[in-house]
Chains A and B, each alone.
Chain A
Amino acid sequence: MPDKRNHIPALYQILFKWFCRETIYAELQGDLEEEFHLNVEKYGLVKARNLYRKEVLKMIRASVVKVPSMIVKNPVKLSLLLLNIKLAFRNLFRHKAFSAINVFGLTAALTICLFFVNLIFTGFSLDRQYENLNSLYRVESTVTSKQGDITAMATTPFPSVAMLNEDIPDFDMVCHVRNSAFAIVNVNGIEVELNGLEVDPAFLTLFNLEVLQGDIKDVFNDFESIAITEEVAQRLYPDLYPIGEVTEDGKVIRAIIATPRAHSHMRYEFIGHLNIPISTADTPSFAYSWNAYYDSYTYVLLNGKSDPKALQERLMQFGNKVNRLSGLEQQFSFSIRPVKGIVFSEPVMNEIGTVFGREGLVVFITTILVMLVIACFNYANLSIARAIQRTKEIGVRKVSGSTALQIIGQILIETIFFSLIAPLLAIGLYYYLKDEFIATLPFFADVFKPELSLTIIGVFIFFSVFTGLFAGFFPALYFSRIKALSLFKQGGAKGQLTFLALRKVIITFQLSLSMFTVLFTLLMYQQVAKLAGESQGFETKNRLIVRAESKDAQLLKPAFLTVPGVEAVSQTSGIPGTSINMVESFNELISGDSSIEVQFLLADEAFDEVLEPGLLDGQFFTGKRNSPNKPMLVNRAFLNLLNIDFNRAIGLIIKNKKSSFQIIGIVDDITMGNPFIKTEEAMMIINAEADRSQEVLLLKLEANNLRILTSLEEKWKEILPDYRFEPEYLETYLQKPLTEFLNLVKAEGLLCLAVIAISLLGQVGMALYNAETKVKEIGIRKVLGASLRSIITLLLKGSLAPLIVAIGIGCPLAYFAFINGITPDISSPLKPKPWIFIQGVLGLSTVIILLITSQTWRIAKQNPTESLQAE
């Protein structure tokens, strides 16, 4: 039967050979094979193979399996190790609640750290798929406005890109990217807006995209073709083959590319072809002018031989050349930044994706360290307590002849064993919670790759082992050194007192930290509530912003007014509630060297109809402009700035070099929507002839609905068929800076919650330990007639002192951190009232007292006859 020999299951043969002892392998393998052949005769090939496999598996037993050589060499050490592990297990189950608290505290901290470590790792690993990453740079510009405000931007002015390509030889390739493109897709009758990039073909060389379907080069055949990301394809075209589909606004899908989220620093849902118009003799459209420096990005491939100093010099000269061009309202200077590690580099305005900056990195790392330190201390605290409980046991061991090293080994093994369970649980918890994490904190989504790498897991296991070592070190050392006999004496050696003190310090530290975080978080939430509730000084609901060039806006205004649902339209030069960049100076009115500059907004008569600002005195614009004086509305800050008496303001004429103005009304202070800009700035709203700079239309709608927007778009298309209709809600626009702040506060709140939870776990653990060690004392007290209440009070006393100290430390710390760290940057800062502090203190104290009471209730209620019996 030679051919049947080959049908023995090969894998199991190899397996058996691997684990079987060499001395008996020949006999056993021979028997197995002989039996196999007999079975083939009897039952057939399939069954024979199955029986063979079963036999091999049943061979896994002590008499057959090889013994690892390490064990063969060190039988004594091995048996001790096994003994200690057995003891560790036993101890784990003896005090279930205590052990659970111990491990879970560490687990919670580790889980949170896992999330943040993931963020950091992913942040640094972004863009690694680009072959040219090391030569990829972004050119950025710093814009100096006429008033001297300097802003660092991630963008460059639109026309500068082509010029950079010509003028700077260090750039092997220049790619122009614009990120304000959008497409509208109709899905089952609902219109979905996608945000994307418009790029030139160089993009494909700089950023080698992963193309999943279709041909990416087709995108550059015309200006209507786009490539959508895989995420979009799955979301909007789950059952369709989207290649060739036409979107609502006439774009054709040519390819599907990999989603950039968590892989690239750029954020987009599709990529299209950038349309760079050939400049005409007339003034170019705003979107392509030097004023368009908000959405244009320049990515370059830097030549490897480029000298940084020379490049710097050339960029500076380039900037000078640009600034000498006529008609520029701003001054520019240029610099480059490497794309590698961009997420944690210094943030600038108008980023193309999420950037956390150096600060973000510091915050993440601090979070991780704080979490780990707390958890470590917690764990150490509880472990020390547990070790002390077994003083007598250790005494017996010493008397029986254990060496110091063996005692140390025993304690360390126990604590490490416990602390190894924590990272395993943490990883499990992480996977369970990762979707929640992104849902709650969506602005981390761009930098979060849910999968954990082996490196991270390894690091966490290492940290847990370290925690175990740290927690076990002190009791281990202590026990190994002291004399055996003294362990049996009541009260223990003086070392026990130092331990007690150490533990009290740790508890106090934790409580203080918890108190601080509770109060600080309360303050932050109050602050956010205050900011969100701030009135802007004018109405923002159902107000729409539409931008267009001034002459077009003049045509659009009456057209929009014909749309049913539009109640009023005002043409202005900017959006109130944000920084306005236009300023009039009134230096002539004051003496000396100081200058007075006042922000102004140009508006028409419909201004008050649309925005409904509060009027303190006088009237709004009437539309009459007979006199040479320009009618204007001012705020109180303006009056204060120019020392004008409130009661004499109306009708007052103010002149400067350029024009003369007449105050016709005083408005209630219009605040700035950005929470970080100080308000109460002087402001003028001038009713002037519609000129070049009035490029904003503010509409008051009767309701927020799609029908009105559609009709508006139709009107837009009649007048500006070649331009996209890009309206924005005023409310949303003003909320933007606040939303980011809100998100940060939310994240911080969650973290604080975790810190408090871990600390509370520690408290509960200690309370349990205290109660358990005092069982006999409680029993005796009860026998002598103590009530339940007095027993619980006794148990609580131990926690009282640290709590008071914690209050004393936490309250002022939170107050000063808030006042000095947060409020200086906020426009309407919260003035912390004592009530907030009382709330926080009472809240936390109540929780702690309840927790401790509930845990020790059981022990306090124990029948003294039972508790005194057991020893």
Chain B
Amino acid sequence: MKGTHLGEFQEIVLLTIMVLDEQAYGVSIKREINEKTNRNISRGALHTALSRLEEKGFIRSKQGEASPDRGGHPKRYYTASNKGIEALQEARTLREQLWNQIPELKWQQPYA
């Protein structure tokens, strides 16, 4: 269906949210992605991905607690919705299918 496609970066963000379980908010998601994927993403790019995911209904958000560290501003926690989990699983299945269709021979990389 159109509009429910999961982009590559969005997939990573969604996966990270699931990894972090209840502790997924801006700073933690960003840190996790930076460490695990070795990509240096900006908070702005992350925000765009998060808002797209929210628009598509793959994640939900709720306001968290404030702290002096954050200048008194509250956090926003993100969790994956059922729709989001389903989309992740579909994506995974699709990849596995394609992987399985590649003939064994292709995995032998010839060296000159």
A interface list, Cβ under 8 A from B: 1-2, 5, 24, 26-35, 37-38, 54-55, 58-64
9 contacts between A and B (CB under 8 A): A26-B73, A30-B26, A30-B71, A32-B43, A35-B30, A59-B47, A63-B47, A63-B48, A63-B52
Cβ-defined partner of B71 (8 Å) among A5, A24, A63 = A5
Chain B residues with CB under 8 Å of A1's CB are: 69
- The 8 A CB mask of B65-109 against A (1 = contact, 0 = none) is 011111101111000000000000000000000000000000000
In the complex, the answer to whether B43 meets A59 with C-beta atoms within 8 Å is yes
Complex Cα distance A234/B82, Å?
80
Interface residues of B in 15-55 (CB under 8 A from A): 25-27, 30, 42-45, 47-48, 51-52
Beyond A27-B76, A28-B43, whether A35 also contacts B27 by CB under 8 A is yes
* Closest B residue to A31 using CB positions: B26
In the complex, the answer to whether B26 meets A28 with C-beta atoms within 8 Å is yes
- Majority DSSP secondary structure for residues of B touching A: helix
In the complex, the answer to whether B43 meets A31 with C-beta atoms within 8 Å is yes
Complex Cα distance A58/B41, Å?
10
**Interface range for B:** 20 to 34
* Closest B residue to A54 using CB positions: B42
- Majority DSSP secondary structure for residues of A touching B: helix
* Closest A residue to B26 using CB positions: A31
In the complex, the answer to whether A31 meets B42 with C-beta atoms within 8 Å is no
B interface list, Cβ under 8 A from A: 25-27, 30, 42-45, 47-48, 51-52, 66-71, 73-76
Complex Cα distance A783/B27, Å?
73
In the complex, the answer to whether A64 meets B47 with C-beta atoms within 8 Å is yes
In the complex, the answer to whether A64 meets B76 with C-beta atoms within 8 Å is no
Chain A residues with CB under 8 Å of B67's CB are: 34
In the complex, the answer to whether A37 meets B69 with C-beta atoms within 8 Å is yes
* Closest A residue to B41 using CB positions: A58
Nearest CB of B to A607, in Å: 93
Nearest CB of B to A834, in Å: 77
Nearest CB of A to B94, in Å: 27
Cβ-defined partner of B42 (8 Å) among A24, A26, A58 = A58
Complex Cα distance A377/B75, Å?
63
* Closest B residue to A1 using CB positions: B69
Complex Cα distance A55/B27, Å?
12
Given A31-B70, A58-B42; 8 other pairs, CB 8 A cutoff: A2-B68, A26-B74, A29-B71, A30-B70, A58-B44, A59-B47, A61-B47, A61-B48
Beyond A27-B74, A28-B26, A59-B44, whether A33 also contacts B51 by CB under 8 A is no
In the complex, the answer to whether B30 meets A30 with C-beta atoms within 8 Å is no
In the complex, the answer to whether A27 meets B73 with C-beta atoms within 8 Å is yes
In the complex, the answer to whether A27 meets B26 with C-beta atoms within 8 Å is yes
Complex Cα distance A263/B37, Å?
67
In the complex, the answer to whether A33 meets B73 with C-beta atoms within 8 Å is yes
Nearest CB of A to B53, in Å: 11
Complex Cα distance A37/B52, Å?
28
Chain A residues with CB under 8 Å of B74's CB are: 26-27, 30
Cβ-defined partner of A34 (8 Å) among B45, B48, B69 = B69
Chain B residues with CB under 8 Å of A28's CB are: 26, 43, 47
Chain B residues with CB under 8 Å of A59's CB are: 42-44, 47
Tell which of B45, B48, B71 has the most Cβ of chain A within 10 Å: B71
In the complex, the answer to whether A33 meets B42 with C-beta atoms within 8 Å is no
Cβ-defined partner of B27 (8 Å) among A2, A26, A34 = A34
In the complex, the answer to whether B43 meets A33 with C-beta atoms within 8 Å is no
Chain A residues with CB under 8 Å of B47's CB are: 24, 28, 59, 61, 63-64
Closest 6 CB pairs between A and B? A30-B73, A30-B70, A31-B26, A58-B42, A59-B44, A27-B76
* Closest B residue to A37 using CB positions: B69
Complex Cα distance A58/B43, Å?
8
Chain A residues with CB under 8 Å of B43's CB are: 28, 31-32, 35, 55, 58-59
Complex Cα distance A561/B75, Å?
104
In the complex, the answer to whether B45 meets A33 with C-beta atoms within 8 Å is no
In the complex, the answer to whether B44 meets A64 with C-beta atoms within 8 Å is yes
In the complex, the answer to whether A29 meets B44 with C-beta atoms within 8 Å is no
In the complex, the answer to whether B44 meets A61 with C-beta atoms within 8 Å is yes
Complex Cα distance A27/B27, Å?
10
Complex Cα distance A861/B44, Å?
56
Nearest CB of A to B72, in Å: 8
In the complex, the answer to whether A27 meets B51 with C-beta atoms within 8 Å is no
Complex Cα distance A64/B43, Å?
11
Nearest CB of A to B69, in Å: 5
* Closest A residue to B48 using CB positions: A63
Complex Cα distance A33/B69, Å?
7
In the complex, the answer to whether B51 meets A63 with C-beta atoms within 8 Å is yes
Complex Cα distance A34/B25, Å?
12
* Closest B residue to A26 using CB positions: B73
Chain A residues with CB under 8 Å of B71's CB are: 5, 29-30, 33
Chain B residues with CB under 8 Å of A34's CB are: 27, 67, 69-70
Nearest CB of B to A551, in Å: 94
Chain B residues with CB under 8 Å of A24's CB are: 47
Chain A residues with CB under 8 Å of B27's CB are: 31, 34-35, 38
Nearest CB of A to B77, in Å: 10
* Closest A residue to B75 using CB positions: A30
* Closest A residue to B52 using CB positions: A63
Complex Cα distance A37/B45, Å?
21
Tell which of A5, A28, A31, A63 has the most Cβ of chain B within 10 Å: A31
Nearest CB of A to B23, in Å: 13
Nearest CB of A to B70, in Å: 4
Chain B residues with CB under 8 Å of A27's CB are: 26, 73-76
Chain B residues with CB under 8 Å of A35's CB are: 27, 30, 43
Complex Cα distance A35/B25, Å?
12
Complex Cα distance A24/B73, Å?
11
Complex Cα distance A1/B67, Å?
12
Chain B residues with CB under 8 Å of A31's CB are: 25-27, 30, 43, 70, 75
Chain A residues with CB under 8 Å of B76's CB are: 27
Chain A residues with CB under 8 Å of B26's CB are: 27-28, 30-31
Complex Cα distance A823/B51, Å?
81
* Closest A residue to B49 using CB positions: A63
In the complex, the answer to whether A58 meets B45 with C-beta atoms within 8 Å is yes
In the complex, the answer to whether B66 meets A60 with C-beta atoms within 8 Å is no
Tell which of A30, A34, A35 has the most Cβ of chain B within 10 Å: A30
Nearest CB of B to A6, in Å: 11
Complex Cα distance A27/B74, Å?
6
Complex Cα distance A27/B46, Å?
13
* Closest B residue to A38 using CB positions: B27
Chain A residues with CB under 8 Å of B52's CB are: 63
Complex Cα distance A37/B70, Å?
9
Nearest CB of A to B50, in Å: 9
Complex Cα distance A607/B52, Å?
102
